[in-house]
Homo-oligomer: A and B are copies of this chain.
């Protein structure tokens, strides 16, 4: 764990505690976003806000205004060269029981983790993760994703499946685990989306029954289409992965990780669309100029 400096705002106040009756804690009744910060600004801010709005509509969760979120995020990310901004929006405190409160008072929790160097100084070199070039080692998880179309795609606070999947390995050489759904379809990593390079072009699992629709995945697909790649979202299986020319993992905090081995089998990295990867990686880690 690299050293870091942590600061938090709860409903705009510099605090770190939340009411124990908050429905985020009681039921996971809320949403979150984790956002890369570079040079004092968030990356892909609007993509994260869009996903938050989609989730809020689906969960009937009243969101704070974008202007308010931006103002509070700006207070936290100012001066942060390299870091992570996390925003959690819950339905707020309520009496016991699943029923929605008549007058919900959503809780907004924003915090920033600033990466420091070994001397405890702010990092000023936002150099990229070496794994973007070297690739990562990946395993297959036993933990499956339950099917729930109503929640599919959202970055909600019910993440026990990911916790259990991530708990399956301790080997620090393994960077990610892929997950199947209850019916055996290949969906994503515990904290990333999966894109295959195939004869068709780019193929990626549908996120219509489970999984999170990642903002980095969306950026990659958008840039790929603009660059003339064929892009297809469909139901994929493990056999599709094994037949693919290569595979990429996407995550808003690390960008793109090519898979260099899966379950101990080496994967050839030479068939990957390196110029596309380079372009998307740069876009994902680019501080938002106008947000």
Contacts and interface: CB of A to CB of B under 8 A. Distances in A.
A281 to B, nearest CB: 21
A241 interface: no
Taken together, the copies of this chain in the complex come to 2
A96 B17 contact: no
B167 A156 contact: no
A182 B162 CA distance: 20
Contacts of A190: 98
A95 B86 CA distance: 12
Interface residues of A, number: 58
B17 A182 contact: no
A10 to B, nearest CB: 6
A171 to B, nearest CB: 12
A85 B113 CA distance: 36
A20 B18 contact: yes
Interface stretch (A24-32, A36-44, A124-132, A227-235): A24-32
Interface string A131-152: 0000000000001111110110
Interface of A: 1, 8, 10, 16-29, 32, 34, 59-60, 84, 86, 88, 90, 95-100, 109, 111, 113, 143-148, 150-151, 156-167, 182, 190-191, 210
